[in-house]
């Protein structure tokens, strides 16, 4: 098993990429700390893991709050004795996120607090735990829009994910000699509740879909497979990378400098 004897903490693990990754990581031998603000769905993820023979606990934590992030990391170490994999996956895409002129300041602030500050706080408390464990892997969920502007305006989300990518690169350089690898998973457009609620008309969906060379939205399970690679020792020579799993969308539109 690819994560045998490892302990993984996954934020936003009540649905989408987070849930699929929690299930897959557990199947591959990891003990999983499931973190979310949705207690019912988060507990369901734990129950699914246990029903399949895995080991997991649920921790309620709002990643935009320092005390909650400190608590979730402490719970991992107190329960399982260490932390090897930190998957800062929690994120939001607000339905009122639009262009710079129409997006309200409150929407901007909320998005930044969860998507960007949440990753910072996860690293702030997760990195010392990985140091105590002798090293490990941090995965930060960014997005293809960190490299490529979105055809359907989502200014706060795009800016937050650009920040995640930049922060990932810097942290990777700072901690490279400590046996801590830090990479950014950059999903393309996915058929998840998060995106489908935002692309809430057929016109919006087609506007996004037409740009994807593979001609379809990705699935959360496909992102979980990518996260598993970054979490495992198979990616031992990767750090500071933008791991694009995007159906080819950036290859079609980003010109190398």
Return the percentage of the chain with pLDDT > 90, whole number.
83
Q: Could you report the per-residue pLDDT of 203-251, keeping only the tens digit for each?
A: 777 777 778 899 888 999 999 999 999 999 999 999 999 999 999 999 9
pLDDT, position 59: 98
* Mean per-residue pLDDT of the chain: 94
pLDDT at 257 over 60: no
CATH code, 7-245: 3.40.50.720
Residues with Cβ within 8 Å of 158's Cβ and at least 6 positions away in sequence, in order, are 143, 145, 146, 149, 150
Q: Which residues belong to the active site?
A: 157
Residues with Cβ within 8 Å of 234's Cβ and at least 6 positions away in sequence, in order, are 2
Q: What is the mean pLDDT of residues 84-104?
A: 96
Return the percentage of the chain with pLDDT > 70, whole number.
98
Q: Could you report the per-residue pLDDT of 116-157, keeping only the tens digit for each?
A: 999 999 999 999 999 999 999 999 999 999 999 887 889 999
User: Could you count the other beta carbons within 10 Å of the beta carbon of residue 152?
Assistant: 16
pLDDT, position 254: 65
pLDDT at 195 over 90: no
Q: Could you report the per-residue pLDDT of 38-80, keeping only the tens digit for each?
A: 999 999 999 999 999 999 999 999 999 999 999 999 999 999 9
């Amino acid at each position: 098993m690819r994560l045998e004897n490892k302990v993984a903490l996954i934020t936003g693990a009540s649905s989408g990429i987070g849930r699929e990754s929690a299930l897959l990581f557990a199947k591959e031998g990891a003990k999983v700390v499931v973190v979310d603000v949705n207690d019912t769905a988060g507990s369901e993820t734990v129950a699914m893991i246990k029903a399949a023979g895995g080991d997991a606990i649920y921790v309620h934590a709002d990643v935009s709050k320092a005390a909650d992030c400190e608590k979730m990391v402490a719970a991992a170490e107190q329960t399982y004795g260490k932390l090897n994999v930190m998957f800062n996956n929690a994120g939001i895409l607000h339905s009122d996120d639009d262009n710079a002129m129409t997006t309200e300041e409150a929407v901007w602030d909320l998005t930044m607090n969860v998507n960007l500050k949440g990753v910072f706080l996860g690293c702030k408390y997760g990195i010392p735990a990985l140091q105590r464990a002798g090293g490990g892997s941090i995965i930060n969920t960014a997005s293809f829009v960190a490299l490529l502007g979105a055809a359907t305006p989502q200014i706060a989300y795009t800016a937050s994910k650009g920040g995640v990518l930049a922060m990932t690169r810097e942290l990777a350089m700072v901690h490279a000699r400590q046996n801590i690898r830090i990479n950014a998973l950059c999903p393309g457009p996915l058929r998840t509740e998060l995106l489908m609620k935002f692309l809430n008309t057929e016109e919006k969906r087609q506007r996004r879909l037409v740009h994807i060379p593979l001609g379809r939205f990705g699935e959360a399970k496909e992102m979980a497979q990518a996260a598993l690679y970054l979490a495992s020792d198979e990616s031992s020579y990767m750090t500071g990378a933008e791991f694009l799993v995007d159906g080819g969308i950036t290859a079609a539109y980003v010109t190398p400098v």
